[in-house]
Amino acid sequence: MQIIQQILFIIALGVAGYFISKRIGIIKKTIQLGREENRTDNSSQRWATMFRIALGQKKMFDRPVVGIMHFVIYVGFVLINVEVLEIILDGIFGTHRLFAPFLGGIYSSLINFFEFLATGVLLVCVVFLIRRNITKVERLQPTRHRELNGFPVIDANTILFAEIILMTALLTMNAADSVLQDRGNEHYHQVGTFAFSGFLKPIFTSFSDTGLVAYERIAWWLHILGILAFGLYVTYSKHLHIFLAFPNTYFANLEPKGEMPNMPEVTKEVQIMLGLAQPDATASTEIARFGAKDVKDLSWKNLMDSYSCTECGRCTAACPANMTGKALSPRKIMMDTRDRLEEVGKNMSDNGGNFVDDGKSLYGDYISAEELRACTTCNACVQECPILISPLDIILQLRRYQIMEESDAPASWNAMFSNLENNQAPWKFSPNDRFNWAEGLK
């Protein structure tokens, strides 16, 4: 019986490992579809940013209560995985609490600490479910934010329920284990009663030995299979940010937020027009694309941003365009980019690694001209994002395409553009008249 359990466990581990690594490969490949962008400078500043923002969750603490709750889930998730290592080794070798004989009294303290975290995670998940579904925090409501309709709401609730089930399995498993220890069952090491699962022991005292072992095994399998399934599910979910927040903050834009990246070719043209530069006869006049029409025109970092987005909606809650009822939601920009990227990735997998034109693009099919025009470029979304994502960077590139290739701009903008082109100023006065205002002055 024991050997069958071990074989089943190794098969489950292998299947989960295969699908998780396959999915990671697809995500990596789709991120690499983006155009080149160098984000390897200032490595010490980048490490410091990553430690402060991803590990220390600094921006989450802008709202202290939610920040603390999120921190509990995060620490719980990271540290409880140390116990998962023991569970995996137990599963492979058919042992029970493999580390207990080696760690002595420390083992009991560690499990007590993990139980403390598990209880904290469980309680916070309940609070988060209440915030989403009962007290209805505005930025998380699909009735107000259309991008949350369908899978995003189910995804958020699924993960919270899954965490509650996993933590309950862990605590009840320990409680049943503890009762079996009290009864002197030889397979269950004497490691004592644990601080939190100890409260659950009365539930199990009326169970027979066979019933207790069966329950303990079911909870053990539920816990570990749940973690493996969770590991795979996360790669399809907004919870991918658990992992991607680290590289995403490391490769964040370190330039001042208000600095908008120009296209060097266009800057050169303007400089030539203003007499500040000379035409370069040897330079190529070919420009692949002005701005971005589809995900492949965006940079790899824009694409990584889209996979990292937590869908928290802090950007949308701070967006003045959204607040005033415009169609724009920076969270939707990130979610649309990810959805289109997934579509392009699937297209490539279905066609032997080559993209076959599907007649669609991020601009137009996912993000409308109306949304792009509503952006004031205020940077509030960038300022608010807890993991340093820039929806504005994507908006600017799409808008550059919209205006420079589609010539799709309101008449008032076009008038300003032609004034800039002809008069080097937004107004319709000749540059020669620029100092007329000073005539007659001393």
Residue 385 binds ligand SF4 (CB under 6 A): yes
Residue 393 binds ligand SF4 (CB under 6 A): no
Counting residues that bind ligand SF4 (by CB under 6 A) gives 29
Cβ closer to ligand SF4: 45 or 376? 376
Helices (H) and strands (E) in the chain, counts: 18, 0
Of 95, 193, 379, 419, the one binding ligand SF4 by CB under 6 A: 379
Of 60, 69, 167, 389, the one binding ligand SF4 by CB under 6 A: 389
Confirm if 408 and 402 have CB atoms less than 8 A apart.
Answer: yes
In angstroms, give the least distance from the CB of 332 to ligand SF4. Answer: 9
Q: From CA 376, how far away is CA 225, in angstroms rounded? A: 47
Confirm if 179 and 205 have CB atoms less than 8 A apart.
Answer: yes
Confirm if 109 and 201 have CB atoms less than 8 A apart.
Answer: no
Opening angle at CA 175, ends 169 and 179, nearest 5: 140
In angstroms, give the least distance from the CB of 371 to ligand SF4. Answer: 9
Cβ closer to ligand SF4: 86 or 384? 384
Distance of CA 144 to the CA centre of its chain: 22
Cβ closer to ligand SF4: 60 or 125? 60
In angstroms, give the least distance from the CB of 376 to ligand SF4. Answer: 4
Question: Interface residues for ligand SF4 in 123-182 (CB under 6 A)?
Answer: none
In angstroms, give the least distance from the CB of 367 to ligand SF4. Answer: 11
Q: From CA 128, how far away is CA 66, in angstroms rounded? A: 9
In angstroms, give the least distance from the CB of 381 to ligand SF4. Answer: 3
Residue 396 binds ligand SF4 (CB under 6 A): no
The answer for residues whose C-beta is within 8 angstroms of residue 47's C-beta and 6 or more apart is: 250
Question: Interface residues for ligand SF4 in 251-310 (CB under 6 A)?
Answer: 309-310
Opening angle at CA 253, ends 250 and 258, nearest 5: 155
Long-range contacts of residues 339-344, Cβ cutoff 8 Å, at least 24 apart: 339/366, 340/294, 340/295, 340/365, 340/366, 341/30, 341/33, 341/295, 341/303, 341/306, 341/307, 342/30, 344/30, 344/33, 344/294, 344/295, 344/296
List of E strands, 23-172: none
The answer for residues whose C-beta is within 8 angstroms of residue 53's C-beta and 6 or more apart is: 59, 245, 249, 252, 386, 387, 388
Question: Interface residues for ligand SF4 in 317-346 (CB under 6 A)?
Answer: 318-321, 328, 330-331, 334
Considering only the stretches 4-12, 296-304, 316-324, 348-356, report the one whose residues sit in contact with ligand SF4 under the rule CB under 6 A.
316-324
In angstroms, give the least distance from the CB of 320 to ligand SF4. Answer: 6
In angstroms, give the least distance from the CB of 393 to ligand SF4. Answer: 10
Confirm if 196 and 119 have CB atoms less than 8 A apart.
Answer: yes
Give 296's DSSP letter: G
Residue 377 binds ligand SF4 (CB under 6 A): yes
Residue 121 binds ligand SF4 (CB under 6 A): no
Cβ closer to ligand SF4: 149 or 349? 149
Token readout for 227 is 């973690």
In angstroms, give the least distance from the CB of 176 to ligand SF4. Answer: 40
Cβ closer to ligand SF4: 297 or 393? 393
Confirm if 201 and 179 have CB atoms less than 8 A apart.
Answer: yes
Of 378, 404, 409, 415, the one binding ligand SF4 by CB under 6 A: 378
Cβ closer to ligand SF4: 303 or 392? 392
In angstroms, give the least distance from the CB of 322 to ligand SF4. Answer: 6
Of 86, 311, 336, 393, the one binding ligand SF4 by CB under 6 A: 311
Cβ closer to ligand SF4: 331 or 400? 331
> By the criterion CB under 6 A, which residues form the site for ligand SF4?
309-315, 318-321, 328, 330-331, 334, 375-381, 384-385, 387, 389, 391-392, 395
